[in-house]
């Protein structure tokens, strides 16, 4: 495996490191706009633990490609990250193969603080048919980044998935491999009176099944749904019904899907 930090034009390698099952790259220098990190020599169909920056939680990812690129966020795209992320002149990036017990345990299957719009073949991944004004602080990825603070909206740590008042707003979470689901938790944004809230929504699953759930006005507490599914590769949340409130702004701070890899076997 190999980690390469590239300058904006791609032809300048600022730092690199290579190893077999675990790569740790410590380097001195500054990130600039449009810099990116390439992860190469991966095994498709394998789980990895990825640490993109000391200020961002480690991600357990599943890859279906032998390489992927992580673009360093700057300016508006940086607003949904900790202000200290990717700053300064000393950095640490690492990736390693995940241990079996990390993969097979019951966990939040959709957690991925390193998710990005541009990345393909890396899971979990969140997407949506609308994100308010296309702004980073309202992107779908915010709903799986592990940051749970519902009492405001906007820049970190108040990032959320915003629906731009769109009645047919739908968010999708792709796991990349079959999973067995035991419970789903939703943290809906609660910046009242600015926000509205949802009283109903529908989960649709890759097996063709669906579950409609009821919600209520909550602050810093999750909506908890005991939903049992097996062999699911993705789910969506849509058909969202707003409460009878003057505000047109409901939003989702976080979705958590608890369960295990399908069959409890790392080999897919």
Q: Confidence band (pLDDT; 50, 70, 90) for 266?
A: very low
Render pLDDT for 29-80 as a digit per residue (tens, 0 to 9): 999 999 999 999 999 999 999 999 999 999 999 999 999 999 999 999 999 9
Task: Quote the pLDDT of residue 8.
Answer: 78
Render pLDDT for 186-220 as a digit per residue (tens, 0 to 9): 999 999 999 999 999 999 999 999 999 999 999 99
Per-residue 3-state assignment (H helix, E strand, C coil) for the chain = CEEEEECCCCCCEEEEEECCCEEEEEEECCCCCCCEEEEECCCCCEEEEEECCCCCCCEEEEECCCCEEEECCCHHHHCCCCCCCCCCCEEEEEEEECCHHHHHCCEECCCCCCCCCCCCCEECEEEECCCHHHCHHHCHHHHHCCCCCCCCCCCCCCCCEECCCCCCCCEEEEEEEEEEEEEEEEEECCCCCCCCCEEEEEEEECCCCEEEEECCCCCCCCEEECCCEEEEEEEEEEEEEECCCCCCCCEEEEEEEEEEEHHHCCCC
Q: Is the pLDDT of residue 267 over 50?
A: no
CA-closest candidate to residue 175, choices 259, 69, 241 = 259
Class of domain 107-264 as given by CATH: mainly beta
Task: Quote the pLDDT of residue 12.
Answer: 86
Give the pTM. Answer: 0.95
């Amino acid at each position: 495996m190999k980690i390469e930090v590239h300058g904006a034009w791609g032809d300048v390698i600022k730092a690199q490191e290579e190893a077999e099952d675990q790569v740790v790259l410590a380097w001195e220098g500054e990130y600039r706009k449009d810099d990116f990190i390439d992860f190469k020599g991966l095994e498709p169909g394998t789980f990895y633990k990825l640490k993109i920056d000391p200020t961002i939680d480690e991600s357990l990812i599943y890859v279906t490609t032998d390489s992927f690129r992580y673009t360093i966020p700057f300016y508006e795209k940086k607003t949904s990250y900790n202000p200290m992320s990717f700053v300064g002149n000393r950095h640490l990036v690492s990736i390693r193969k995940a241990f079996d017990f990390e993969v097979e345990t019951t966990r939040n299957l959709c957690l991925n603080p390193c998710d990005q719009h541009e990345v393909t073949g890396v899971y979990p991944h969140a997407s949506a048919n609308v994100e308010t004004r296309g702004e980073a602080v309202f992107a779908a990825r915010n709903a799986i980044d592990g940051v749970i603070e519902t009492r405001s909206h906007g820049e970190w740590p108040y990032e959320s998935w915003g629906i731009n008042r769109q009645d047919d707003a739908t968010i999708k979470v792709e796991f990349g491999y079959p999973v067995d689901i035991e419970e789903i938790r939703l943290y809906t944004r609660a910046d009242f009176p600015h926000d509205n809230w949802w009283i109903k929504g529908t989960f649709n699953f890759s097996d063709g099944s669906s579950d409609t759930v009821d919600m209520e006005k909550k602050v810093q507490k999750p909506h908890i749904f005991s939903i049992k599914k097996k062999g699911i590769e993705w789910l969506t949340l849509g058909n969202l019904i707003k409460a009878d409130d003057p505000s047109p702004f409901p939003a989702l701070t976080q979705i958590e899907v608890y369960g295990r890899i399908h069959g409890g076997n790392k080999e897919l």
